[in-house]
């Protein structure tokens, strides 16, 4: 079982009171409220956290990026990945992920990732995401072509990694005279690709068709099981049997040396007024063309205030009750995580440990307890439950490298 | 006003829907980026004098769309195709807002083809001052409301905004993004091509247009060979919906001229 540490790297020094007054804390929330002195301190604290995490036994760092918002300071995940490639030694650097549609030049992205893979001596896991709606707006990228760009940029990155150049690329959204990067990944055929997601069935289906592990981001246990049902069905149709090696799960887990402190800090998971990406206008999070057409009717009603957010807005207590937020000491948390692993059987598990205004000292305590107690226990439980991860199984990086594909049953059979 | 007929015509890979009424000089009316109600007093008044054709821009308000379209110029070419299929010669073009951009592209593509060009709050050129209101960051209703000087006029046209209307606006918005995302709602080349247009032009702006700055209208007037600028009082961007009678009083005699 592969267990990773994650944090959104919150810009905790932003003036929350002004955000509440303005009514939004994303996309259009003015960066005049961004304090670069606090920013400099926080970036360095977060870097120290990863280094400390490796010392404490953490085996993977999960990195992501967002734009124009205090809930996440990481504007270019590859920058932290590049630094960690140089200053850490063993932990996997797991990008979950680079927002592919934002790339105007996916070949350059392929080069950056190849450099990270070589500098880290083959520790890169290169996940890809569509990016949230607000990321498209913040970067001037057309939301109506989000999925098309995601798929084509993926194909181009993989080609840049695995096809000998020079070659020409004449796609719908990307055209390149010469693809011939003099930086290719160390890992062959190419670094593992994992696909995180929340809601879109289209992404689950796409990931299953590629045989890429799907990482359920902070979904409830019941919702996660439904994701696996769909993934498993598509996998069977594609010719393979999906297992724990195809499943990843990110959950919010804060541990501390006392229950009281753990609960107080865990409440920081809702520090953005309970909204994952902060307060935002619905059309920013879901610009037209970005969301699944099947959700259009529900969404437009939500956008004008006639319906509830289709994603819901559960309270802290609800999220604790339905298994999305965990807190406690290692002793009380480990049995709860055992239950999650038994119920959902992932082999990849991301622990979103710290958020909001959790102090530097408490964040480090959490990391220490995760690395020294919680994660080793989870790896043992993983062994016991047969939750073998893609590294342990050396499972194929992509469907096309499979050696175990079965012919699809014909309708008449 | 009776006499509107509905048509669907296959143009290559695209099914184009249009409504038609009246007789006399042919007038192609091109609607806004928020689509169009089927019935508008402005359309009826024009149809009392002219042979009026109102196409629905492909993909605006309906899920079926030509996936290959990338620019409003593609719609302009498709409408040239439509006029060819219908055997319509020397049409006049009346472009409303976004439809004004399409009309200007049509005139620039075929500078000798048209009798008169009417642009009402037209998008399509970069305003020298101010920016075109960006619907990407405001809600559907707020954007449609921004088209009106008087919210009572909005209520007269759209009433209590049904969910069907919201869905249609979302589809319109998606199609607008597909073809006019960046630069948003203007062409960098169009102003340089307008000088060839032979049709006399009437450029009309609402005096309270909050969607397209008036400076864009002034730029159209400067770029076209022969253009007149008119301001309609107590009107926002959707002059056709808010002050139909005033607009008809400007447009009808202009198209009737020889």
* List of E strands, A211-264: 214-217, 247-255
Give A28→chain B minimum CA distance, Å. 9
| Ranges in chain B, pLDDT < 50 | none
Q: What local confidence, expressed as pLDDT, does residue A200 receive?
A: 87
Q: Where are the domains of chain A?
A: 2-401
Give A145→chain B minimum CA distance, Å. 7
Structure tokens at B233: 């009082």
CB contacts of A281 in chain B (<8 Å) are 137-139
* CA gap A186, A173 in Å, rounded: 28
* CA gap A196, A202 in Å, rounded: 12
Q: Looking at the domain that runs over A2-401, which CATH code has it been given?
A: 3.20.20.30
Q: Are A284 and B167 within 8 A, CB to CB?
A: no
User: By a Cβ cutoff of 8 Å, what residues of chain A touch chain B?
Assistant: 27-28, 137, 140, 142-145, 281-284, 287-289, 293, 296-297, 299-301, 303-304, 306
- The answer to whether B60 touches B173, Cβ cutoff 8 Å, is no
Find the CB nearest A143 among B166, B167, B177: B177
Q: What local confidence, expressed as pLDDT, does residue A409 receive?
A: 57
- Indicate if ipTM > 0.85: yes
Residue A25 CA, distance from chain mean position: 21
| Residue of chain B nearest A293, judged by CA positions | B63
- The answer to whether A196 touches A129, Cβ cutoff 8 Å, is yes
Instruction: Identify any residues that bridge with A200 across adjacent strands, giving them in sequence order.
Output: none
Q: What local confidence, expressed as pLDDT, does residue A244 receive?
A: 98
Find the CB nearest A140 among B161, B166, B182: B182
Residue B192: CATH number of its domain:
3.40.50.1820
Give B161→chain A minimum CA distance, Å. 10
CB contacts of B184 in chain A (<8 Å) are none
Mutation choice for B interface testing from A142, A288, A302 by most B CBs within 10 A: A288
Task: Tell me the pLDDT tens digit for each residue of B129-172.
Answer: 999 999 999 999 999 999 999 999 999 999 999 999 999 999 99
DSSP string, A35-79: -HHHHHHHHHHHHHHHHHHHHTT--EEEE----SSTT---S-HHH
Q: Are A283 and B181 within 8 A, CB to CB?
A: no
| Residue of chain B nearest A304, judged by CA positions | B139
| Ranges in chain A, pLDDT < 50 | 413
CB contacts of B139 in chain A (<8 Å) are 281-283, 303-304
Task: Tell me the pLDDT tens digit for each residue of A49-75.
Answer: 999 999 999 999 999 999 999 999 999
Q: How many domains would you assign to chain B?
A: 1
Establish, for the pair of chains A and B, how many residue pairs have beta carbons separated by less than 8 Å. 61
Domain range holding B101?
5-256
Looking up tokens 């239950």, which residue turns up? Answer: A339
Please enumerate in sequence order all residues whose Cβ is within 8 A of that of A118, keeping only pairs 6 or more positions apart, or say none. A183, A185, A186
* CA gap A297, A302 in Å, rounded: 9
Give B207→chain A minimum CA distance, Å. 28
Backbone angles phi, psi at A118, to 5 degrees: -70, -45
Q: Are B139 and A299 within 8 A, CB to CB?
A: no
In this prediction the pTM is 0.96
CB contacts of B174 in chain A (<8 Å) are 144, 288-289
Instruction: Tell me, yes or no, if B86 comes closer than 8 A to chain A by beta carbon.
Output: no
Q: What local confidence, expressed as pLDDT, does residue A275 receive?
A: 75
| Residue of chain B nearest A27, judged by CA positions | B137
Q: What local confidence, expressed as pLDDT, does residue A277 receive?
A: 80
3-state SS, residue A168: strand
Structure tokens at A111: 């080069």
Find the CB nearest B137 among A28, A293, A297: A28
């Amino acid at each position: 079982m592969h267990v990773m540490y994650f944090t959104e790297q919150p810009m905790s020094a932003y003036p929350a009171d002004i955000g509440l007054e303005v009514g939004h804390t994303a996309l259009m929330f003015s960066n005049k409220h961004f304090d670069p002195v606090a920013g400099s301190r926080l970036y360095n604290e977060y870097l120290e956290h990863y280094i400390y995490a490796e010392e404490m036994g953490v085996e993977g760092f999960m990195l992501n990026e967002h734009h124009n918002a205090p809930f996440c300071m990481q504007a270019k995940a590859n920058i932290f990945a590049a630094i960690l490639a140089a200053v850490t030694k063993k932990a996997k650097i797991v990008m979950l992920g680079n927002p592919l549609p934002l790339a105007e030049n996916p070949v350059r992205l392929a080069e950056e990732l190849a450099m990270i893979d070589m500098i880290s001596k083959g520790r890169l896991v290169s996940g890809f995401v569509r990016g949230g709606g607000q990321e498209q707006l913040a970067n001037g990228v057309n939301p109506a072509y989000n999925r098309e760009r995601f798929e084509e940029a993926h194909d181009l990155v993989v080609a840049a990694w695995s096809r000998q150049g020079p070659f020409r690329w004449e796609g719908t959204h990307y055209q390149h005279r010469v693809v011939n990067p003099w930086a290719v990944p160390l890992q062959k055929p190419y670094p593992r690709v994992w696909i995180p997601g929340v809601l879109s069935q289209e992404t689950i289906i796409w990931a299953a068709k590629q045989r890429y592990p799907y990482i359920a981001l902070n979904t409830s246990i019941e919702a996660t099981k439904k994701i696996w049902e769909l993934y498993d069905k598509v996998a069977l149709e594609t010719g393979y049997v999906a297992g724990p090696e195809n499943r990843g799960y990110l959950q919010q887990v804060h541990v501390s040396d006392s229950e009281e402190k753990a609960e107080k800090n865990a409440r920081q998971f809702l520090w953005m007024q309970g909204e994952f990406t902060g307060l935002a206008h619905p059309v920013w999070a879901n610009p037209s063309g970005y969301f699944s057409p099947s959700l259009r009717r529900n969404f437009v009603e939500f956008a004008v205030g006639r319906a509830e957010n289709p994603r819901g807005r559960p309270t802290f207590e609800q999220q604790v009750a339905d298994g999305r937020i965990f807190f406690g000491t290692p002793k009380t948390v480990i049995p709860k995580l055992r239950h999650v692993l038994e119920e959902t059987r992932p082999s990849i598990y991301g622990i979103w440990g710290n958020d909001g205004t959790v102090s530097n000292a408490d964040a480090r305590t959490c990391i220490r307890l995760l690395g020294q107690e919680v994660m080793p226990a989870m790896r043992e439980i993983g062994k016991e439950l047969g939750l073998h991860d893609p590294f342990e199984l050396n499972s194929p990086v992509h469907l096309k490298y499979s050696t175990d594909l079965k012919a699809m049953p014909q309708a008449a059979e | 006003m009776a006499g509107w007929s509905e048509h669907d015509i296959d143009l290559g890979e695209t099914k184009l829907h249009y409504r038609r009424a009246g007789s006399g000089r042919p007038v192609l009316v091109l609607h806004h980026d928020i689509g169009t109600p089927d019935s508008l007093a402005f359309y009826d008044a024009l149809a009392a004098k002219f042979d009026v054709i109102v196409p629905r821009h492909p993909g605006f308000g309906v899920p079926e769309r030509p996936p290959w379209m990338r620019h409003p110029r593609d719609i302009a070419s498709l409408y040239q195709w439509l006029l060819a299929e219908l055997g319509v010669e020397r049409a006049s073009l009346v472009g409303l807002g976004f439809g004004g951009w399409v009309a200007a592209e049509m005139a620039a593509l075929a500078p000798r083809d048209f009798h008169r060009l009417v642009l009402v709050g037209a998008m399509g050129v970069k305003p020298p001052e101010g920016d075109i209101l960006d619907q990407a960051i405001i809600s559907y209703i707020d954007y449609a409301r921004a088209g009106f000087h008087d919210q009572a006029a909005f209520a007269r046209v759209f009433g209590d905004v049904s969910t069907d209307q919201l869905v249609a606006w979302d589809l319109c918005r998606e199609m607008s993004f597909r073809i006019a995302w960046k630069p948003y709602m203007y062409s960098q080349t169009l102003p340089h091509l307008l000088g060839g247009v032979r049709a006399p032009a009437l450029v009309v702006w609402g005096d309270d247009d909050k969607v397209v700055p008036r400076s864009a209208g002034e730029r159209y007037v400067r770029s076209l060979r022969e253009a007149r600028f008119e301001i309609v009082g107590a009107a926002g961007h959707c002059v056709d919906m808010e002050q139909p009678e005033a607009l008809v009083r400007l447009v009808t005699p202009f198209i009737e001229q020889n």
